[in-house]
Amino acid sequence: MTAEQTVKTPARLGEVVQSSTAQFVASCHRLYEAPALGTLVKCGNGTIVYGVVADVRTQSIDPGRKPIAMGGNDESEEAVYRRNPQISRLLTTEFTAVSAGYKAGGRVRRYLPPLPPRIHSFVLQCSMEELAEFTASMDFLPAMLSAPVGHPDDMVASFLRLASEAHPDPDAFLVTAGKELSRQLNGQWQRLNGILKRLSS
Amino acid sequence: MTTNGNAAFDALGRKRLGIVVAGSLTDGVDVRLDDDTSVEDIKVGTLVAIEGERRRFFGQITDVLLGTTDLGMQSTPPDVSNSFIARVIAGTTAYGAIKVEPTLSIGGDSRSLANDGPLPAKTVPAHFSSVSPASDADIELVFGKEDERHFWIGSPLDMETKLCLNVEELAKRSNGVFGKSGTGKTFLTRLLLIGILQRSKAVNLVFDMHSEYGWQGTSEKSSSVKGLKQLFGSKVAVFTLDVDSSRRRSLLPDYVVRIGYDEVEPEDITLLREVMDLSSIAADAAYNLQRHFGKGKWLKSFLAHGGRDSIKELADAIDVNANSLGALHNRLSRFERFGFMDDQAGHDSVNEIIRYLDRGMHVVLEFGRYGNDLAAYILVANLLTRRIYKRYMERKEAAAGDKAKEPRPLVISIEEAHKFLTKELAGQTIFGTIARELRKYNVTLLVVDQRPSGIDDEVMSQLGTKIVCLLDSEKDVTAVLAGVSGSSKLRAVLSRLESRQQALAFGHALPMPVVVQTREYGTPEFYKSIGHRDGAEAQEKSAKDVEDLFGPGS
């Protein structure tokens, strides 16, 4: 499933398993079915917390039991899973989303939510309309650029590229976003240049 | 504030250039250009209006800068072949900026707009005030409309609006037109003369070195343009020193000027020192000669001395160095080749000029072939001016404050002024006196020159309005701008003038310095706009006048 398709058909992606004000971790319902890097997701009832996918990982459920290579005699990757059906049960896919804003009382705010989402909140993919609404202003950029995650620049670039599809003139949206980035990253030319290159290619 | 490249407009719907971000009254304000304003569209010298919180400011662009918010960008430039990156950084990380010198301000309330008009700016516009190019209405507000006092001399840079000069103010003080040769000084001077003729009470006396103001001048484009006499026949008299030259150009001069030897004074010789290559001792010997032979007779008697022995004898008699006196004799014998010099005493040229001036006529004195001889020009200009000035002084004093009896204000135009307003001579010549004493005696100068650095500082500083075409030499630029506030910024403007038909005008007759694209002189539209009618039209007009006066069919 491509990123574009998932955005067009909002679907439940998983549940929150770890939560803090700045970010939350969700466990996917199905192995390998995580949203793409930079996808806008939401969770919570009443106050909706928006997050942007910053990191996706698949690992063993039990931290003490590391997966090992098993397909020495198999022809293909599928054959490995077919011959060892327990693998799917022992692995889990998780993703980390950076809290980018929240919606309360019908109003979208593009900064940290007052409270993090609860554990087991369902995490849903945002629709194109929600994505357009959320990116109507670039106020979310400062929090995202300073998010305590591994690769904030890649996250921002992926998010902006996905978001541009939700606007009637994607190119103009990216230029506006680029100009806002250049204001935010004043004095960090190399970093700005890196993001702009990702946005343009 | 624009962020996404959309054109921004100020409160009056003018396209905005940018916003004020920093600055000071002494250094001018820094304006950061909007994303969609390209530095390449900005021209130094352009007039801009700044919409402050409570006041509107007017100023001139004095510098254009390229800025980056990030120094790292200068060492590792972006990939500008990537159009997306180029669009993003234009106006944000890499931006254009301009320096604006706010010179005038006007209060936003209706009283200031109606009564005071723009006043010199005593403060700067607030942060983030919007800056836009001055509109036609702004230009009219600042420089005035074309009316009985304002004369249209051209238009501001890149604009069609009429830029007017307050000629009444202009004629009150001595003024200067400067610029290297071929930049349009003569055309500009012609315009100013027409302005003074049409819009002020003053009369012109032009010492026309190359016979180009009175009758038929030449332009670089078309072959010939009309002179003052052709345009304002009833108001202009052409006097000549060289009647042959006038006739050759099918001009019937109003008066042929003759100068008697008795009219030359030792002071005139002092002035000719440089052009005649005389030592100061030789020039000063003229005073001894005057003492010896008597006033009025000295020159003729001195020139009558021929031969070395006779000169040596004379030198002993008047106690000067014989070699110096020989040199003086040698140089002064050139006067005998001047056709306008006359043995007869009692010439009336000065009275004739004054008679014309008193009738409100403007006098152009053509030098004909003597225009190429600087000595003749300086001699005649100085001699006539000295005597006219003396006459004005007497009459002004006799009038004793009675305005009705005062002589008409007189504007004397001189060319190659650096030859007789030099630092050494300005103190001694009549032109230096006129320039310094201003309008005390109703006489002012219009100095036309290509080498202002040669003119005495004191004289330069007394010039009310200066109109400066392109100048190359650093020294000349410094001399022209000496004592002008914000001169370092005007220097940038001045050095980037185009070589033709552009001038920087500043001083008394203008509320603020401005770059003028001077009016096209010599086109049929121009002649029409100053009220000149050619043959057929003039006949039609007079027929209509007759009809208006006496009724149809008369």
**Two tokens at B186?**
């003569």
Least Cα distance to A139 among A184, A194, A196, A200 occurs for A184
Q: What is the pLDDT of residue B110?
A: 65
Segment-wise mean pLDDT, segments of 10 residues, chain B, 554 residues: 49 79 91 87 89 89 88 84 87 89 82 71 91 88 85 86 87 89 86 86 87 74 76 87 84 85 85 83 87 85 82 84 86 85 76 87 88 85 86 84 81 85 78 78 88 87 89 88 79 84 88 87 80 68 69 62
Of B76, B84, B93, the CB nearest to A182: B93
Indicate if the pLDDT at residue A5 is higher than 60.
no
Cβ-nearest to A193 among B3, B4, B78? B78
- Chain A residues with CB inside 8 Å of B78's CB? 193, 196
Chain A interface residues (partner B, CB cutoff 8 A): 171-172, 174-176, 178-183, 186-190, 192-193, 196-197, 199-200
Q: Nearest-CA residue of chain B relative to A173?
A: B4
The DSSP string of B499-537 is SSSEEEEEETTSSS-EEEEEPPPSSHHHHHHTT---HHH
The partner residues of B440 in beta bridges, in order of sequence, read none
Interface test with B, best of A141, A156, A167, A192 (most B CBs within 10 A): A192
**CB pair distance less than 8 Å for A197 and B72:** no
Place of tokens 């770059």: B515
The residue in chain A having the minimum alpha-carbon distance to the alpha carbon of residue B74 is A189
- The pLDDT score that the predictor gives to residue A4 is 46
Mean pLDDT score of chain A, rounded to an integer?
Answer: 90
Find the closest chain B residue to A138 by CA distance: B3
pLDDT digits (tens, 9 = 90+) for B233-246: 888 888 888 888 88
DSSP strand pairing (A122-125 vs A40-43): antiparallel
Q: What is the pLDDT of residue A3?
A: 46
Percent of chain A with pLDDT over 70: 95
The encoded tokens of residue A67 equal: 């997966």
Give the Å distances, CA to CA, from B416 to A153, B178, B186, B460: 70, 10, 12, 14
Interface contact A189-B91, CB threshold 8 A: no
**Does A189 contact B82 at a Cβ distance shorter than 8 Å?**
no
pLDDT of residue B1: 38
Residues 77-136 of B with CB under 8 A from A: 78-79, 82, 84-85, 87-89, 91-93
Contact criterion met (CB < 8 Å) for A179 and B35:
yes
Using a CB-CB cut-off of 8 Å, the residues of chain A touching B75 are: none
Q: What is the pLDDT of residues B52-62, one digit of tens each?
A: 888 889 998 98
Please report the pLDDT score of residue A48 as a whole number.
94
- Which residues in chain B are closer than 8 Å to A187, comparing Cβ atoms? 69-70, 72
Provide the shortest C-alpha distance from residue B34 to chain A (in Å): 12
Q: Residues of A with CB below 8 A from B3's CB?
A: 176, 179-180
Tell me, what's the pLDDT at B538? 62
Q: Which of B76, B84, B92 sits opposite A174 (nearest CB)?
A: B84
Instruction: Find out whether A128 and A8 touch, Cβ atoms under 8 Å.
Output: yes
Indicate the SS3 state at residue A142: helix
Helix (H) or strand (E) holding B237: strand B236-240
| b/e code B192-229 from CB counts within 10 Å (16+ = b) | bbbbbbebbebbbbbbbbebbbbbbbebeeeeebbbbb
**Res B116: pLDDT:** 66
pLDDT of A86 above 80:
yes
CB of B75 less than 8 A from some CB of A: no
A179, A188, A200 member nearest B4 (Cβ)? A179
pLDDT tens digits along A9-33? 457 899 999 999 999 999 999 999 9
Chain B environment of A192 (Cβ under 8 Å): 70, 93
Packing angle of the helix pair A189-200, A152-164 (nearest 10 deg): 40
Prediction pTM value? 0.75
Instruction: For A200, name the nearest residue in chain B, comparing CA atoms only.
Output: B84
Rounded to a whole number, what is the distance in Å from the CA of B7 to chain A's nearest CA?
A: 14
Task: Write out chain B residues lying below 8 Å of A181, CB-based.
Answer: 88
Report the residue from B73, B84, B92 with minimal CB separation from A199: B84
Cβ within 8 Å, pair A196-B84: yes
Mean pLDDT computed over A117-137: 94
Q: How many CB pairs under 8 A join A and B?
A: 60
| Contact (CB<8Å) B84/A192 | no
- Count of other CB atoms within 10 angstroms of residue B22: 12
Task: Report residue A1's pLDDT band, with 50, 70 and 90 as the boundaries.
Answer: very low
Reported as a pLDDT band with limits 50, 70 and 90, residue A8 is: very low
Quote the strand ranges of B387-513, DSSP E.
410-415, 443-449, 465-468, 502-507
Contacts of A195 in chain B (CB under 8 A): none
